[in-house]
Amino acid sequence: MSSIGQVAEQLGVTTHTLRYYEKIGLLAPVAKTSGGRREFSSRDINRVQFIKRAQRMHFSLDDIRTLIELDKADLVEKPQAQKLVQEKLCEIEESLKDLKHLKLDLARMLNACLSSGDAESCPIIEGIKEPVEPK
């Protein structure tokens, strides 16, 4: 059993985050000592690690709740899990496209700035002011 402070330090989260996960039901109510201190079991720690890994994969807390519920289900709900992952992959593909465009825009602004000499206007600031065209 580990204290909330030990778990927070071990997993790189705050104690507030751990209490929040418990409050919103992502983490089952953690056992408490007679003095009211939370005592995290290895199962609780594994759950927090699962949540953190899913967050690194850009799953929302609602998505993570769904994944946890799928994990608890009697039957493996592969289609539902596959749908969540497919949606996440589509979101990431869109983000990658956006990042690619952003990279090109930033490189263009930097090159314009480097080649502008001591002009009064700054191509970087002017480039940021340009309206973004809808996709």
Determine the Cα–Cα distance for residues 50 and 7; give it in Å rounded to an integer.
Answer: 14
The answer to whether 22 and 4 have CB atoms below 8 angstroms apart is no
pLDDT at 1: 85
**For the domain that residue 17 is a member of, what is the CATH number?**
1.10.1660.10
The number of domains in the chain is: 2
- Looking at the structure, tell me whether residues 55 and 96 fall in a common domain: no
**pLDDT digits 0-9 by tens, 59-98:** 999 999 999 988 877 676 678 888 999 999 999 999 999 9
- Looking at the structure, tell me whether residues 6 and 54 fall in a common domain: yes
pTM value is: 0.72
3-state secondary structure of 51: helix
Task: Give every CB contact of residue 21 below 8 A, 6+ residues apart in sequence.
Answer: 27, 48, 51
**pLDDT digits 0-9 by tens, 108-134:** 888 888 887 766 777 788 777 777 666
